[in-house]
Amino acid sequence: MRTRLRMRPLHAALTSAATTLGITVALVATGTLSVAQDRTGQGAQELGDPDYGVCRGVDARCYHDWGNFDTTKGYKVLLYTHTAGPRHANLGPALATGMNPPLTDANVVQNALLELGADNSFQVDYTEDVTQLASPATLFKYNAVIFYSTSRDALDDAAQTSLRQYIRGGGGFVGVHNAFGTEYNWSWYEGLLGNANFYDHGPEQSGTVDTVDRKDVSTRSLPATWSFTDEWYNLIPAPTRVRVLADVDESTLAKGVTGNYHHPGHGRNHPVAWCQYYDGGRAWLTTLGHDAKDFSTDGSFAGAAEFQKLLLGGIESAMGRTPFCT
C-alpha cells in the first residue's frame, strides 16, 4: 500500500510532464509558441495553420512532376501586377486590359522583368487583367507565375481556381513584396506563401541582409551579408516548414523594427526570402522589392545587384530550370 502511495506522485509528475511536452510541441508546430523568435510568451505569436490540408515543406515528394511543361520550347513566365488596394510606385500607372499592354518608363517592375528575361533567355508576358488568369490551360503555358506587389483581392473566383489547379499540376510560383498583402482571406494562398502574411512594416531604411542558406541556387552567388534598403515586412503568421534563405539583421535597423501597427518585430529570425514545395508545385518567396531603385544597375543603390541575383535565382528555380529549394 505504501509503495502504491509513493508511486502515485511520480506517475502524476511523469504524466504532467508528458502532457506539458505534448502541448509545447503542438504549440511550436502550429506557430502559436514562437520559439524561433526567442520571445516565448511575448511579442508576436506566429499564429497560423501550418498544414492547409496539402503536402507542403521542403520534401520534393510534395512536387507533382506530371509532364505539364515542355522545356524543349524554352522557358516562359507570367508577371502579374494587379492591385485592388495600395499600389507601389515602382509598378507605375495601372495597365490596360489584355496581355502585354503598352508600358511607360514609370512601369519600372514590368520593364525590369522584361529585361531580366531577355538577358537570361526566358520569355516574360505581363498583365494586370484578371481574365488572363481564368484558365489553367493558359497558366500551364508558363513555367512560373510571378505575383509582384499585387494587393488585396487581386483574383476572382475563376482565377483562384485556375491558380490552384496550376500549382497542383506542378506549376511554379514567385511571390515578391506585396504579394504578401494579397488575398488575405484565402487560406490556401496564405499556405502558398509559406504560412505567411504581411501585417505591417516600419520606416523604409537600410539594413543588413544575412544570407543564411548559401547552398540554394538562388543564394549561392550572394555574399554572406549585404546592405539593402526596404520596408522590412513584419509577418503574421510568419513562415513555417520552409527553407529560409535570407534574414534581415534587426539590430542593423537604426530606425527600429516596430511596425506602423505595432508589431514588435521577429527578433533574431526575421526572414526575407524562403522557398517550399506546396500542394504539388514550387513556391519561392521574398518580402523584398519595395523600391524602384532595386533594379538600378549603376551601383548607386546598395544591394540592388544582390537583389537582382536573388530574384533571378528564385525565378529560375521556380521555373524548374535549376534545382529547386536544395
Q: What is the pLDDT of residue 46?
A: 62
pLDDT exceeding 90 applies to what percent of the chain?
Answer: 84
Round to whole Å and give the CA distance between 309 and 277: 21
More confident residue, 12 or 90: 90
Three cell numbers at 198? Answer: 504581411
Q: What is the pTM of this model?
A: 0.87
Q: What is the mean pLDDT of residues 192-197?
A: 97
Whether 187 is in a domain gets the answer yes
276-319: pLDDT as tens digits: 999 999 999 999 999 999 999 999 999 999 999 999 999 999 99
Q: What is the pLDDT of residue 43?
A: 47
Whether 7 is in a domain gets the answer no
Contacts 24+ apart (CB under 8 A), 296-304: 301/229, 302/206, 302/226, 302/227, 302/228, 302/229, 303/209, 303/226, 303/227, 303/228, 303/229
**Residue-wise over 239-273: b if at least 16 C-beta within 10 A, else e?**
bbbbbbbbbbebeebeeebbbeeebebbbebbbbb
Q: Are 56 and 241 in contact (CB under 8 A)?
A: yes
Number of domains in the chain: 1
Whether 13 is in a domain gets the answer no
Nearest to 217 by CA among 293, 310, 104: 310
130-153: pLDDT as tens digits: 999 999 999 999 999 999 999 999
Round to whole Å and give the CA distance between 30 and 267: 19
Whether 27 is in a domain gets the answer no
Show Cβ contacts of residue 237 under 8 Å, excluding neighbours closer than 6 positions.
31, 46, 47, 48, 190, 195, 196, 197
Q: What is the DSSP string of 150-210?
A: -BBS---HHHHHHHHHHHHTT-EEEEEGGGGGB-TT-HHHHHHTTS--EEEE---EEEEEE
Whether 253 is in a domain gets the answer yes
90-130: pLDDT as tens digits: 999 999 999 999 999 999 999 999 999 999 999 999 999 99
Whether 192 is in a domain gets the answer yes
Contacts 24+ apart (CB under 8 A), 186-191: 186/155, 186/160, 187/49, 187/52, 188/52, 188/54, 188/164, 188/279, 189/160, 190/48, 190/49, 190/52, 190/237, 191/49, 191/51, 191/52, 191/54, 191/56, 191/278, 191/279
Report the CATH number that the domain containing residue 135 is assigned in CATH.
3.40.50.880
Domain limits for position 135: 50-319
218-277: pLDDT as tens digits: 999 999 999 999 999 999 999 999 999 999 999 999 999 999 999 999 999 999 999 999
Whether 45 is in a domain gets the answer no
Whether 11 is in a domain gets the answer no
CA 61 vs CA 50, 188, 252: distances in Å: 18, 19, 38
Q: Is the pLDDT of residue 2 over 80?
A: no
Q: What is the pLDDT of residue 47?
A: 63
Q: What is the pLDDT of residue 51?
A: 78
What average pLDDT does the structure give for the chain?
Answer: 89
Q: Is the pLDDT of residue 20 over 60?
A: no
